[in-house]
Amino acid sequence: MNLPNVQFTEEQKQFRQEVRSFLKQHIEDGTFETRCDSWLSGSDPSFSKLVAEQGWIGMTWPKQYGGSERSTIDRYILTEEFLAFGAPVAAHWFADRQTGPLLLRFGTDYQKEFFLPKIVKGECFFAIGLSEPNSGSDLASVATRAEKVEGGWIVNGAKTWSSNAHDAHYMVTLIRTEPLGEKKHEGLSQFIIDLKGEGVTIAPIRYLTGEPHFNDIYLDNVFVPDEMVVGTLGNGWKQGLAELAFERSGPERILSTFPLLNEVIEQLKIKRDLVGLEEATKLVAELWSLRNLSIGVAKVLEEGGEVAVPAALVKSIGTKFEQKIPEIIRLMLDVYPNLHSDNRVERYLAESILHAPGFTIRGGTSEVLYGILAKGVIAQ
């Protein structure tokens, strides 16, 4: 892999300070409390609206759709700060990270004009409908099917583990539109489903913490108009793969438990605990290397390069790293994890421990990513 070494410009450093001031102010004002894994489990539509007012949703998108045409690296800085401060950005995360880029690349003019300005204003959230009760890693085996009718399609089936679908307006869904043939990756299409529409039932599945997070979604004779088919019929697999590159390489694959590490370091500094700080420094060094890798992938993505293999690398090593932070801290400090504690280390430790099992599963399991890495290396 030949990833670029990205240097931030003076404007980008200033932008980071601007984002920090915004987040610090909102913490001081009590708008939100820092938490771990906030990008996926901290859903707060009213905070997303505040982010939108700053012009920070869809910031890389064309001005014609309400974006600011800023760089991918600017967006990287923004997301990094959201994660470091544990801000509740989950409501708009999928729409900003992957639905917008998907529509910009494959969507019709109607879809771009209808959805993108609403996403940018923080008024339209998306869920991801890939997994099914009998289909996860082997995604091409999805059984949710659509039959052609006048003016659209009738969809039947079930999706599962759909994060934040209870707060979302729409879901991008992978559906079988042609009977299963010899090549199972063919005959799949991407549909946008209105989650408030007739025939859609959303049933919550709770996290280990007890919070609502992901959902089962039952689709019972749901009508999807032709204009809600994304891209080309039958090309859903290839379009979905393009989306995964955005999904796998971002800072959210490294920083889900960063608020815990940061807080521990602050407390160790106050206590002048040199032994503890030495342990923490090892984690920071590892974090820094992963971060360089992840920024390098962001830059290649911006330039339109192929990143499937490095993105799989970032996700597979990055998520193991974010899992390791609570494990090491738990053994290092004499603290008891408690979700309801006023002590931030105790609270962040509890959040991290209870969320960590999902890090290496969501967005593609580590084992599946190792397969991509092995094949990528063999192909060279």
CB of 371 to ligand FAD, least distance (A): 5
Decide if residue 365 touches ligand FAD (CB under 6 A): yes
Mark the segment that binds ligand FAD (CB under 6 A) among 6-14, 97-105, 244-252, 355-363: 355-363
* Contact of 143 with 135, CB cutoff 8 Å: yes
Distance CA 200, CA 219 (A): 5
Nearest approach in angstroms of CB 276 to ligand FAD is 30
Residues 6 or more apart in contact with residue 320 via CB below 8 angstroms: 360, 366
The residue (of 117 and 371) whose beta carbon lies closer to ligand FAD is: 371
Question: Cβ-closest residue to ligand FAD?
Answer: 136
List Cα–Cα distances, 249 to 149, 188, 267, 310, in angstroms. Answer: 39, 25, 30, 8
Q: Which of 95, 128, 298, 312 binds ligand FAD (CB under 6 A)?
A: 128
Answer yes or no whether residue 36 interacts with ligand FAD by CB under 6 A.
Answer: no
* Residue 4 exposure: Cα atoms within 13 Å on the Cβ side: 14
Interface residue with ligand FAD, options 79, 99, 162, 319 (CB under 6 A): 162
Task: List Cβ<8 Å contacts ≥24 apart for 55-60.
Answer: 56/19, 57/92, 57/95, 57/96, 57/119, 57/120, 57/121, 57/122, 58/96, 58/100, 58/116, 58/119, 58/120
Q: Exactly one of 367, 374, 375, 377 binds ligand FAD (CB under 6 A); which one?
A: 367
Q: Does 256 bind ligand FAD (CB under 6 A)?
A: no
Smallest distance from ligand FAD to CB 305, Å = 25
Select the span of 161-169, 194-202, 266-274, 345-353 touching ligand FAD (CB under 6 A): 161-169
214 part of the interface to ligand FAD, by CB under 6 A: yes
Give 47 or 161: the residue with its C-beta nearer to ligand FAD. Answer: 161
**Per rule CB under 6 A, is residue 177 in the interface with ligand FAD?**
no
Question: Rounded distance, CA 378 to CA 370, Å?
Answer: 12
Any contact of residue 371 with ligand FAD (CB under 6 A)? yes
CB of 47 vs ligand FAD, minimal distance in Å? 20
**Residue 32 lies near ligand FAD (rule: CB under 6 A):** no
State the Cα torsion 142-148-153-155 to the nearest 10°.
-40
Q: Which of 4, 117, 136, 152 binds ligand FAD (CB under 6 A)?
A: 136
Does 131 sit near ligand FAD (CB under 6 A)?
yes
Least distance from C-beta 208 to ligand FAD, angstroms?
A: 10
Q: In this chain, which stretch among 70-78, 123-131, 303-311, 322-330 interacts with ligand FAD, using CB under 6 A?
A: 123-131
* From 180, 339, 368, 373, residue interacting with ligand FAD (rule: CB under 6 A): 368
The amino acid present at 264, given as its one-letter code, is: V
362 counts as binding ligand FAD under rule CB under 6 A = yes
Q: How far apart are CB 101 and ligand FAD at their closest, in Å?
A: 16
Type of residue found at 347: R
Closest to 256 measured CA to CA, from 341, 212, 319: 319
77 vs 350, beta carbon nearer ligand FAD = 350
Contact pick of 52, 78, 95, 130 for ligand FAD (by CB under 6 A) = 130
Binding site for ligand FAD (CB under 6 A): 128-131, 136-137, 161-163, 214, 358, 361-362, 364-365, 367-368, 371
